[in-house]
Amino acid sequence: MAISSNTAQKKTALITGASSGIGNATTRKLLQEGYRVYVAARRVEQMQELAQGGAVAIPLDLTKDEEIMAALERIVAECGSIDILINNAGYGSYGAIEDVPVDEGRRQFEVNLFGLARLTQLVLPKMRENKFGKIVNITSIGGKIYTPFGGWYHATKHALEGWSDTLRLETKAFGIDVVIVEPGGVKTEWGHIAANNLRKTSGGGAYAKAANNAAASMHEIYSGSRLSDPAVVAATILKAITAARPKTRYHTGYMAGPVLWLRRWLSDRMFDRIITSMV
């Protein structure tokens, strides 16, 4: 995890949700390329290896405005500004829409959209002042498609897609690039967590049969070898932040391209049948 001194010119990056998966892999990639990297997550103890490799680990719960403010104030005090913001933190709490408490739906929006939005608002003034900034929002192919029992998760990701498009238009004149990265199947703990939540929420009620089948399928997929390594997404993120004129969207990872192609060209009813047959 050695830091090279000739590629990133000491640009400062903040990566949220860095305790595992895509955030962890992206941190390693940026450190290798010579970036100054701050990593943020609720579980600071799980970022110690990254800290030993050169990252600066800070606690951050995106549902707590005081922690968002403290994190930004620290980074600006130490580095002057944040050049690259990678909004990666997020989670999916699966369950039938009828079963998921609305408070849990609100919490998913707090983490997956509103906390991210607040962090971005605080980063923008310095980026505008510097006439430079890269904001990468990790959505998902789940921001373009839908699956049974993922209603609240899909709602947050669909919302983040539209929010990011608007932000891109508003900040373009200030030299700020806003990029959406849409991962497909990536081998992380996300799938097992979502499957466990699905069983807990809907495994015993009116939706039990379909919910338990879907949870079993998710466990099988995320325990197998078909999914992409998080390093694949990390490489895509690096490509986006180093491009002079990045694309507005990058899809990456297992089945991302084929699934998005199907969604674009099939009717809703046809897509419904395909998705239902897969769970």
3-state secondary structure 49-118: HHHHCCCEEEECCCCCHHHHHHHHHHHHHHHCCCCEEEECCCCCCCCCCCCCCHHHHHHHHHHHHHHHHH
Q: Which of 38, 44, 41 is nearest to 11 (CA)?
A: 38
For each of the chain's 279 residues, which pLDDT tens digit applies?
433 444 466 899 999 999 999 999 999 999 999 999 999 998 899 999 999 999 999 999 999 999 999 999 999 999 999 999 999 999 988 999 999 999 999 999 999 999 999 999 999 999 999 999 999 999 999 999 999 999 999 999 999 999 999 999 999 999 999 999 999 999 998 999 999 999 999 999 999 999 999 999 999 999 999 999 999 999 999 999 999 999 999 999 999 999 999 999 999 999 999 998 876
Q: Which residues are catalytic?
A: 153
Please report where in the chains the tokens 């600006």 appear, as a residue: 76
Q: How far apart are CA 243 and CA 245, in angstroms?
A: 5
Please report where in the chains the tokens 């939706």 appear, as a residue: 207
Looking at residue 10, its pLDDT comes to 83
**DSSP 8-state symbol, 228:** B
Find the distance separating the first CA and the last CA of the chain, reported in whole Å: 39
What pTM did the predictor assign?
A: 0.94
Looking at residue 2, its pLDDT comes to 38
According to DSSP H, which parts of the chain are helical?
Answer: 21-32, 48-52, 65-79, 102-109, 115-130, 151-171, 190-202, 208-223, 230-242, 256-265, 268-278
- Structural domain boundaries of the chain? 12-186+229-257
Looking at residue 8, its pLDDT comes to 60
CB 91 within 8 A of CB 116: no
Looking at residue 259, its pLDDT comes to 96
Report domain 12-186+229-257's class.
alpha beta
Please report where in the chains the tokens 């899809």 appear, as a residue: 251
Looking at residue 43, its pLDDT comes to 86
Q: Which of 184, 228, 179, 238 is nearest to 26 (CA)?
A: 238
Q: Which of 17, 36, 23 is nearest to 237 (CA)?
A: 23
Hey, which residues does 163 pair with through a beta bridge? Answer: none
What are the tokens at 158?
Answer: 């669909």
Q: How far apart are CA 105 and CA 107, in angstroms?
A: 5
Looking at residue 227, its pLDDT comes to 96
Q: Which of 2, 86, 83, 84 is nearest to 41 (CA)?
A: 86
Alpha carbon of 31 to those of 35, 51, 87, 91, 122: distances in Å? 5, 11, 17, 25, 24
